[in-house]
Amino acid sequence: MEHPPPTEILRSQARESPTIEQVEGEFWRIVEEPTDEMEVLYGADLHTALYGSGFPGFPRRGMHARGTEGAYANEKARTDEEQVEDHNYSTHLWNVNMFPMNPSSVLRHVDAALDIPGVTVPWLYFGSVLTSFSWHIEDHALCSVNYIHFGAPKVWYGVPGHEAGAFESAMRKIVPGLFDTQKHLLYSLTTMVSPQQLHAHGVTVSRVICPARCFVITLPNAYHGGINVGMNGAESVNFAPPLWLPWGLDVLKKYKADGRAPSMSYDQLLITLAKFLHPVGDEHPYDGLLDDPIAQERQEAARQYNGRRKKSSISAKPIGAQLAAQHVLSNHRSRPPASALRMAEEQLRRRVEEEEEARNFALADVGVVTMRKMRGGIAGGRDPQTSVFRDTAERDCAVCAADLYLSAVVCTLHPHRAVCPAHADKLCLFRMYGDHVSDDGDGETSDVEDDMRLPCNAREHHVLLYRHASQELRYRCGLCRDQSTL
């Protein structure tokens, strides 16, 4: 690739500002024909719950406990009209904070206990000239929205979602040495290859310039990257229209094959959506929401947030604590679109077939003899007497890092281990664990090291934990219409 002569954009402030194309050309010259080492400054992945959002919004879980008083230090100085205007913006559907909870986004039905940074909670980005965001797809192949609040434009490059495989093949041919040393290179967001090189390998690449006060939307499974041509500030978050659901299942299989841990439970999302179509007994999709401690914590955050506002004005009342609490709960009240329910049912059927096959392997082929329904929830995930897992909602398979929301196999002799049913035969094989063995979340690893020394050849020590029986799963996805056996 031929590059224009260096523009010396970092050496002179007296000259006329370089064009976007000149900055872009200099960036690719530095990447492909470097002559000097260069360091640039980029503030990335800044949590809006800690640093504030560029959009008005209601507080999220735990904000009142994270030292964010400064975010509201000037609240008393604002007029009632400004507060009401903030309220209007805070609930506007083009507010980046609202995208994950948009009525058409299925992310609003992800477990209420989870505020996932960068996925359901926006991140801030402060770029400078020649900074970049490397080629990647979003977590779980989700859609994303990126808004530039101020400053210089971003140059975006994008590859269609259906060409993700072609993109990955091209990358392996262009930089084979990097893949030899970094198995998960494309997950690391560290590699930039020019659009021209990708074009030469048959990959379709689009380019768009996004100036300040404009949005860029990326679609499921679409690789994208880009360059900042100067100082700017942006905000980004994920969302998931119904059309994303099939992509979500496909990427789950890819994560499992690559040993990459998911950032949310796709199975929990499918089960929640399925409750709208096939409730069991008198079950309601929102049962327990008002008693959920996380929902209560959010309401308390809303009360504290609104307690800082002026209470004397009638015009400020619409943004009081009651409305804030209603806003928090309403994120989960609306029935999903019919298209989301149809797609969720279809994907759940595929997952149920995979789940039944995995459970049958654990029971019939491996010889696990004990089955036990999960209990205790997240707070009581371990038996207080034996430390054996009794709920694995927050655990990943020690072999493949798959989500263990639906089921897991555990061992009474090795309480710190849990695997998916498909890897039940690897549960007590020390050599299979490698980097996936981790501490118990409290920084202590001695117990893990000790229990690895225990031999375990007897399958009677293995337990298959399940959240929903197979018959219930079949009912949830419409494969069975009879509730009498549930």
Cα separation, 190 vs 234, whole angstroms: 20
Report if residue 250 sits inside a domain.
no
Scored b (16 or more CB within 10 A) or e, 49-76 reads: beebbbbbbbbbbebbeeebeebbeeee
Q: Sign of dihedral through CA atoms 404, 409, 412, 418? A: negative
428 in a structural domain: yes
Which amino acid is residue 283, in one-letter code? E
Residue 238: count of CB within 10 angstroms of its CB: 27
In 112-229, at which residue ranges do the beta strands (DSSP E only) sit? Answer: 123-127, 132-136, 143-151, 154-158, 206-210, 215-218, 224-228
Answer whether residue 102 is part of any domain. no
Cα(113)–Cα(293) distance, integer angstroms: 9
Structural element, H or E, at residue 462: strand 462-466
Tally of domains within the chain: 1
pLDDT in tens, the chain (486 residues): 555 555 455 554 446 889 999 999 999 999 999 888 889 999 999 999 899 999 987 555 433 333 334 344 444 455 666 666 667 788 888 999 999 988 899 999 998 657 899 999 999 999 999 999 999 999 999 999 999 999 999 999 999 999 999 999 999 999 999 999 998 999 999 999 999 999 999 999 999 999 999 999 999 999 999 999 999 999 999 999 999 999 999 999 999 999 999 999 999 999 999 998 877 765 655 444 434 444 444 445 444 444 444 343 333 333 344 444 444 445 445 788 899 999 999 999 999 999 999 999 999 999 998 999 998 776 557 888 788 999 999 999 999 999 999 999 999 888 888 999 999 999 887 443 344 444 343 433 334 444 444 445 667 889 999 999 999 999 988 876 655 555
- Six-digit token string for 71: 């975010």
Query: Are the C-beta atoms of residues 61 and 114 closer than 8 Å to each other?
Result: no
Residue 384 falls inside a structural domain:
yes
**Those residues with Cβ within 8 angstroms of residue 357's Cβ, 6 or more apart along the chain or in another chain:** none
The four Cα atoms 76, 79, 81, 87 give a dihedral, to 10 degrees, of -20
Q: What sign does the dihedral 329-335-336-342 (CA atoms) show? A: positive
CA distance 12 to 354: 61
Q: Is residue 423 part of a domain?
A: yes
Instruction: With respect to residue 243, please indicate whether it lies within any of the assigned structural domains.
Output: no
268 falls within a domain: no
Looking at the domain assignment, is residue 465 inside a domain?
yes
Q: Which residues pair with 156 in a beta bridge?
A: 208, 226
Residue 399 belongs to what domain range? 339-476
Tokens of residue 476, six digits? 């949830």
